[in-house]
Amino acid sequence: MANSRIRVIGGNFITGQPIGVLDGIDMHYAGKVRKVDAEGINAQLGLGNILLLNCEGPSPTGEIFNLQMEEVAEAVAHAIKADKLVYLTDSRGVTDQSGELLDAMTADEASQLLRDADWLTNDMVRYLPCAVRASRAGVGRVHLIGYEQDGALLRELFTHDGVGTVVTRESLENIREAKPDDIAALIALIEPMEQEGILVHRPRELLEREIERFSIMLHDGIIVGCAALYPHSDDEAELACLAVNPDHREWGYGEQLMERIVRRAKKAGIKRLFVLTTRTEHWFVERGFKLGTVDDLPAAKKEMYNYQRRSKVLFKTL
């Protein structure tokens, strides 16, 4: 930090208004956000300044109202179209009834939880509704992390996995068909497994020619899994290159990718799907595949069979 310059700026960027009378009680100077000076905030951020916003909002008539900090954060994030909003809370994140951390939720899931959950901490009861509204209003991600966790904010900002719970408008998980722009990330995913001998090596030129055969799983915008469909006849096809990043294998992505390939195969009129594997025979058997032999393969695939790898051959009738 030697010779660094950090400028912290304050100002009247928030306009307040009175809450009024609630249930017969005059709330006096308790207020809510009326307007956010998004242009002024963005101008200061553009200059490299850090903004420190207080929770007081002057009104056009000169009165000053006390504002709830979580609502100020929500309003400002929405007004400046923030990508990320972070709440520091008295809990490590949103938990289910058994106390297990829910690391990701959609706004709809969080809204449903609020209706049913009586185990949430006081901070969560206050902050989660703001997270839902901010997410639905266009804030990319709203994070709820625990202030008692050492380094929680740094871990959230500077690691991919982060901490706590993230609330998004739509699910962070997304399966789609691969595009040419995905090839570099696809190679980064499968190359370590090729080096271990788990997958057959596929050169970049081959991936470029066959990219339309692949479906990919994304988590938070990053490719964490893939699978490919190779038709061998009008009614038979191969499920190939099913791979998931080791850090994400416990989340069921492999099964989701398999189901995606099955749906694509059925849509194409495929009646039987087969897979060759050296390590995951039992995984496929548990999901409806049955062990076969090399002789059961289509003629073209049988000719290409690598007897040195001695891959198991499994089939599934669709």
List the domain boundaries for the chain. Answer: 8-168, 173-317
Cα dihedral value 174, 177, 179, 184, nearest 10: 60
What are the tens digits of pLDDT across the range 257-298? Answer: 999 999 999 999 999 999 999 999 999 999 999 999 999 999
Q: Where are the beta strands (DSSP E) in the chain?
A: 8-9, 14-18, 21-22, 25-26, 31-36, 50-51, 56-58, 64-66, 84-89, 104-106, 141-146, 165-168, 173-177, 214-219, 222-231, 236-244, 272-277, 290-291, 312-317
The percent of residues above 90 in pLDDT, for the chain, comes to 77
pLDDT number for residue 2: 67
pLDDT number for residue 135: 92
The third-level CATH classification (topology) of the domain covering 8-168 is: Carbamate kinase (3.40.1160)
Confidence of residue 220 (pLDDT cuts 50, 70, 90): confident
Helix (H) or strand (E) run with residue 286 in it: none
Residue 78 scores a pLDDT above 80: yes
Domain 173-317 has CATH 3.40.630.30: yes
Per the model's pLDDT, the better-predicted residue between 221 and 177 turns out to be: 177
What are the tens digits of pLDDT across the range 87-144? Answer: 999 999 999 989 999 988 889 899 999 988 889 999 999 999 999 999 998 898 899 9
Give me the chain's average pLDDT, please: 92
Q: What is the DSSP string of 42-56?
A: HHHHHTTPEE---SE
Residue 161 scores a pLDDT above 90: no
